[in-house]
Amino acid sequence: MTLITDNQKFMNASDIFFKAFDFFKSIGQSLFKPFRSFSGSDTSFKMSYKFGIIPVVIIVLLIVFGITGFIWDNEPENFDVHANALVQANGDGGKIVTGYTSSATLVHLMETLLNKPGGYLSNDRFPPGVFMDNVPNWEFGTLVQIRDYSRAMRNDISRSQSQSVEDPDLIIAEPQFHYSNDSWWLPATETEYREGLKAFRRYLNRLSEDDGAQFYARADNLSDWLALVEKRLGSLSQRLSASVGQERLNTDLAGDTAAQQSTPGLKELQIKTDWNEIDDVFYEARGTAWALSHLFKSTEIDFADILKKKNAIVSLQQIIRELDATQEEIWSPIILNGSGFGFFANHSLVMANYISRANAAVIDLRTLLSQG
């Protein structure tokens, strides 16, 4: 996959700008040519030309930024996790072993985050990236799942027990992925993430070469990661549902008569997402679901024996089906926020439905894994 650097992004945008500028400059010169013959002096013409070229430059910039933004404002396509593992194994001269598909999937997720059209946009400080928010929120949703899975691998999946030694490359990769997602300079976010990616690739190579790296496909390890997924999906479901505003009973201490909290809360809560954050939450959920769909498809391969023994393959496939449903094409130019059963659609509530169903299936899967 071709790496996209900040310099390359700038050079590509510069090429587009200068070509468009030359084109509109020639148009501007032809438009002002008649005025030169009627003007009293070259000075008056130069003044007219000087002030006339400014709108042309502004129009050129708007067109260039609009076209570039349109190209960049696209979510990556789904990919075949098994085919991706084969390509990476062949490229590195390794072999596919237990855990290779999941690890290779995480590598591809991070590569996609960094090398998609426009590169990584969350930390951009110049147009058009600075004006875009859909893809950056999608990036954050994907990034959270990369962080969670890398942490699960470092703490659980790559270790045989709690007292065993952590993998040296995962010790480097996991905190690198947790670096600030919007740092533009000194160091840039992309620089830190690529360092983490290099370390994770070293783990992947050692895993395929039987060089000390391990991936323990056990029911308890899978259940620990699912516990993280369950919390992420539950939070997203609540935030998506709050697009129309809800009155909720406070259930923070429900189920434990001795439970306490640091600050007393209200018995009823009014929760509503701000209008300017509705599409942000929506695209964050899209990015989360996109990353999770591929990680679960990898899980179906690497944890196949465990899932078959627990008769849980169908439950996992149901999770994948619900997550894939969130990736359907959006035909509306904007994210609509109709009022529940109102006249207009509410895309957030539709997304919340799929996320909630996927979360329910995750809970069922954890229950099956806990049974003997």
DSSP 44-81: HHHHHHHHHHHHHHHHHHHHHHHHHHHHHS-PPPP--H
What's the CA gap between 3 and 48, in Å, rounded? Answer: 45
pLDDT (mean) for 1-30:
54
127, two tokens: 């147009």
Sign of torsion over alpha carbons 170, 191, 111, 90: negative
Position 104 scores a pLDDT of 97
Is 258 inside a domain boundary? no
pLDDT digits (tens, 9 = 90+) for 184-222: 988 999 999 999 999 999 999 999 998 889 999 999 999
Is 264 inside a domain boundary? no
Q: If you write DSSP's letter for every residue of 91-117 in order, what string do you get?
A: HHT----TTHHHHHHHHHHHHHHHHST
Measuring CA to CA, which residue among 278, 190, 206 is closest to residue 242? 278
Are 59 and 88 members of one domain? no
Are 85 and 188 members of one domain? yes
Are 98 and 209 members of one domain? yes
Residue 259 has pLDDT above 90, yes or no: no
Q: How far is CA 155 from CA 163, 165, 171, 207, 290, in A?
A: 11, 10, 9, 16, 24
- Say how many domains are in the chain: 2
What's the CA gap between 98 and 281, in Å, rounded? Answer: 35
Domain boundary among the residues 64, 84, 113 is at 64
Are 14 and 87 members of one domain? no
| Residue entry with tokens 């650097």 | 5
Are 173 and 53 members of one domain? no
What's the CA gap between 102 and 108, in Å, rounded? Answer: 10
Q: If you write DSSP's letter for every residue of 131-154 in order, what string do you get?
A: G--HHHHHHHHHHHHHHHHHHHII
- Band (pLDDT 50/70/90 cuts) for residue 25 is low
75, two tokens: 């979510």
CB 323 within 8 A of CB 293: yes
pLDDT digits (tens, 9 = 90+) for 28-80: 555 445 444 444 455 554 555 555 677 878 888 889 989 998 899 999 999 99
Are 151 and 281 members of one domain? yes
Are 169 and 305 members of one domain? yes
Are 234 and 355 members of one domain? yes
Q: Output 129 or 179, whichever has higher pLDDT.
A: 179
Domain boundary among the residues 33, 64, 95 is at 64
Residues across the chain: 372
Position 372 scores a pLDDT of 61
CB 135 within 8 A of CB 239: no
Are 50 and 158 members of one domain? no
Are 108 and 236 members of one domain? yes
Q: What's the whole-model pTM score?
A: 0.84
For 174, the domain range is 73-245+274-370
Is 162 inside a domain boundary? yes
- Whether omega for the bond prior to residue 34 falls within 30 degrees of 0, making it cis, is no
Question: Residue 87 phi/psi, 5° resolution?
Answer: -65, -45
Measuring CA to CA, which residue among 307, 303, 355 is closest to residue 327? 355
Distance of CA 193 to the CA centre of its chain: 14
pLDDT digits (tens, 9 = 90+) for 93-129: 789 999 999 999 999 999 999 999 999 999 999 898 8
CB 108 within 8 A of CB 101: no
What's the CA gap between 156 and 143, in Å, rounded? Answer: 20
What's the CA gap between 151 and 174, in Å, rounded? Answer: 6
